[in-house]
């Protein structure tokens, strides 16, 4: 059986490249090639820029309320097609259907809906200066590039296009080459909803295509989601034409469990924050600091629930709650970190091996893995693993655990479990992270700004302030009296 070949999506339709070069996309749960995608060659790249220029001219000329109405139509189509789109995400990423069916499309649609609602509410200022006055306009930036990671492909495309399009920009989006289909589906939906051709374009390929986007002088902004190291390259390249950047990067986030916490709730949070999407979530709380008084209770319950309640297998099976990692290479990387943890003296409480479930024997699965007896300087405690691997550490002093939690160059997220309301806020205010939870972990509604401290990122996604990251302020001074000139 021949597999489909997807072309790049430019100016409202699929466009064939000239080189004929393609890449293959595999289903991580089966190791089978499911389709091919054409790489954006020079012809496609030039066409994408021309298309986005035309798209920008048409889209930015519309009133915000017209744009809003069209985007809300796209939101309705996304929701109508939830199951079809969720299936695309499951086959591309290996994540469980039970997640994609209620999270991936839904949270993407929410963000477009949120910014569609905000678009008409964006206003400038006016102020008198003597008899003269000035006013400001919020103008779109122009062509914005979005570069996405592979863990939430459609959601990332929605989170980047929502505010960009609401503010009147055009977008050229490059999904990860591991998961290219979700963005194409979104492009088709935008066209169906009435977004003019050229406003949202999808170019396909690996790092070279990303590099072209970051270096291209016609592009005003790059919004990037990916690893810290790639983020640094993207920012350096974007600096060549002084582009605005938003960076959503990796993390190694701490969760602090105090001895007055509801331990079962804290275990739930720890499991969600390490095993949901098989651990491939940037905000995961991969360093769990547990107070010594509840440590034994915490790890006993964690071990039992991890061994009894996690079902790995064919991700399309609605019972399955642990899917396959994105690629063989990534599976090997995660297993390499587990070996390193053992070598450096951590103890495996549970898991630690590759998995070959009967319903998906060729998938890239890794057992849900918990390390105890961890030390702050171990590799598994310091580096982002991006798989189902949790490190548990012990503490007994509040100030000390805050200092340990902050002792990292990353600062994406953090969490605290305690029933003491004063301690909860006191501690969370001292944690150096951009996304924080108290007695909760992982929720990220459209209304809440998200982004990292330190090397975990620059700028924010979601929330009102993000619209400012996709507009520029024009100040206009109006003279109301004759000019006094010495010349
Ligand atoms: P990568 O950094 O490897 O890739 C991200 C994207 O950048 C991909 O589309 C990739 O293309 C592209 N790319 C690679 N090199 C370059 C380059 N030199 N210039 C421009 N673009 C380039 O990240 P992953 O895809 O592996 O995603 C996992 C990472 O993403 C983790 O670190 C995770 O923490 C982070 N992440 C952060 C989130 C946040 O909101 N803070 C959310 C989700 C993930 P290709 O893959 O095709 O090679």
The answer for residues whose C-beta is within 8 angstroms of residue 354's C-beta and 6 or more apart is: 331, 335, 364, 365, 366, 367
Q: Which two tokens stand for residue 368?
A: 């849900």
The answer for residues whose C-beta is within 8 angstroms of residue 410's C-beta and 6 or more apart is: 228, 250, 251, 252, 253, 384, 452, 454, 455, 456
**Beta partners for 291?**
395
The CA distance from 363 to 80, in Å, is 30
Strands in 347-350's sheet, in edge-to-edge order, are 347-350, 369-372, 389-395, 287-291, 254-257, 413-417, 435-438
**Where do the domains of the chain lie, and which CATH numbers do they carry?**
5-250+456-474 (3.40.605.10), 254-438 (3.40.309.10)
pTM of the model: 0.97
To the query of whether residue 7 is one of the catalytic residues in this protein, the response is: no
| Residue 297 CA, ligand 1 centroid: distance in Å | 37
174 touches ligand 1 (CB under 6 Å): yes
Q: pLDDT tens, 47-104?
A: 999 999 999 999 999 999 999 999 999 999 999 999 999 999 999 999 999 999 999 9
Q: Which two tokens stand for residue 384?
A: 């982002």
Pocket test residue of 22, 89, 94, 149 for ligand 1, highest count of atoms within 8 A of CB: 149
Q: Which two tokens stand for residue 19?
A: 């080189």
179 touches ligand 1 (CB under 6 Å): no
210 touches ligand 1 (CB under 6 Å): yes
**Residue segments in the chain with a per-residue pLDDT below the cut of 70:** 1
Write phi, then psi, for 5 (nearest 5 degrees): -120, 120
284 touches ligand 1 (CB under 6 Å): no
Dihedral sign of CA atoms 410, 158, 445, 272 in order: negative
441 touches ligand 1 (CB under 6 Å): no
Largest CA distance in the chain: 88
Task: Catalytic residue, from 248, 301, 384, 461: name it.
Answer: 248
Q: pLDDT tens, 312-333?
A: 999 999 999 999 999 999 999 9
Q: Which two tokens stand for residue 45?
A: 């790249």
Q: Atom 12 of ligand 1 has which residue's CA nearest to it? A: 207
What is the residue whose two structure tokens read 């909803």? Answer: 193
61 touches ligand 1 (CB under 6 Å): no
The confidence score (pLDDT) of residue 384 equals 98
The confidence score (pLDDT) of residue 322 equals 98
Pocket test residue of 180, 230, 389 for ligand 1, highest count of atoms within 8 A of CB: 230
| Residue 239 CA, ligand 1 centroid: distance in Å | 18
**Beta partners for 225?**
248
The confidence score (pLDDT) of residue 1 equals 61
The confidence score (pLDDT) of residue 2 equals 85
Q: Atom 25 of ligand 1 has which residue's CA nearest to it? A: 149
């Amino acid at each position: 059986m021949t597999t489909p070949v997807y072309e790049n999506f430019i100016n409202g339709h699929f466009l064939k490249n000239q080189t004929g070069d393609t890449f293959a996309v595999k289903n991580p749960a089966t190791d089978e090639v499911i389709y091919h995608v054409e790489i954006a060659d020079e012809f496609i790249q030039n066409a994408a820029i021309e298309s986005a220029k035309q798209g920008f001219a048409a889209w930015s000329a519309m009133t915000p309320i017209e744009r809003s109405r069209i985007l809300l139509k796209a939101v309705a189509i996304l929701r109508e097609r939830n199951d079809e789109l969720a299936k695309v995400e499951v086959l591309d990423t290996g994540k469980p259907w039970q997640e994609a069916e209620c999270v991936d499309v839904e949270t993407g649609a929410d963000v477009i809906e949120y910014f569609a609602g905000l678009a008409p509410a964006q206003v400038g200022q006016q102020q008198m200066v003597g008899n003269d006055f000035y006013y400001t306009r919020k103008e779109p930036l122009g062509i914005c590039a979005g570069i996405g990671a592979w863990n939430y492909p459609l959601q990332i495309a929605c989170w980047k296009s929502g505010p960009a399009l609401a503010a009147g920009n055009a977008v050229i989006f490059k999904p990860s080459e591991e998961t290219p289909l979700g963005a194409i589906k979104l492009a088709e939906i935008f066209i169906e909803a009435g977004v003019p051709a050229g406003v949202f374009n999808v170019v396909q390929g690996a790092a070279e295509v990303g590099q072209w986007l970051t270096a291209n002088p016609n592009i005003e902004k790059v919004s990037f989601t990916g690893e810290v190291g790639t983020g640094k390259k993207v920012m350096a390249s974007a600096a060549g034409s002084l582009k605005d950047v938003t960076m959503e990067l990796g993390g190694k986030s701490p969760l602090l469990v105090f001895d007055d916490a509801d331990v079962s709730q804290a275990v739930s949070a720890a499991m969600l924050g390490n095993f949901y999407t098989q651990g491939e979530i940037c905000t995961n709380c991969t360093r769990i600091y547990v107070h010594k008084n509840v440590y034994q209770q915490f790890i006993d319950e964690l071990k039992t629930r991890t061994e009894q309640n996690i079902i790995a297998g064919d991700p399309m099976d609605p019972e399955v709650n642990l899917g396959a990692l994105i690629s063989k290479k990534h599976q090997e990387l995660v297993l390499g970190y587990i070996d390193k943890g053992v070598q450096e003296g951590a103890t495996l409480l549970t898991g630690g091996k590759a998995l070959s479930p009967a319903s998906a024997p060729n998938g890239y699965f890794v057992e849900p893995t918990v390390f105890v007896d961890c030390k702050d300087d171990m590799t598994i405690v310091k580096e982002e693993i991006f798989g189902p691997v949790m490190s548990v550490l012990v503490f007994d002093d509040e100030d000390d655990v805050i200092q340990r939690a902050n002792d990292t160059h990353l600062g994406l997220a953090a969490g605290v479990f305690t029933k003491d309301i004063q301690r909860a806020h006191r501690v969370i205010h001292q944690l150096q992270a951009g996304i924080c939870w108290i007695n909760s972990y992982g929720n990220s509604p459209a209304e809440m700004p998200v982004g990292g401290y330190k090397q975990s990122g620059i700028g924010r996604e979601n929330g009102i302030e993000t619209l400012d990251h996709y507009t520029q302020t024009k100040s206009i001074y109006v003279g109301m009296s004759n000019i006094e000139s010495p010349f």
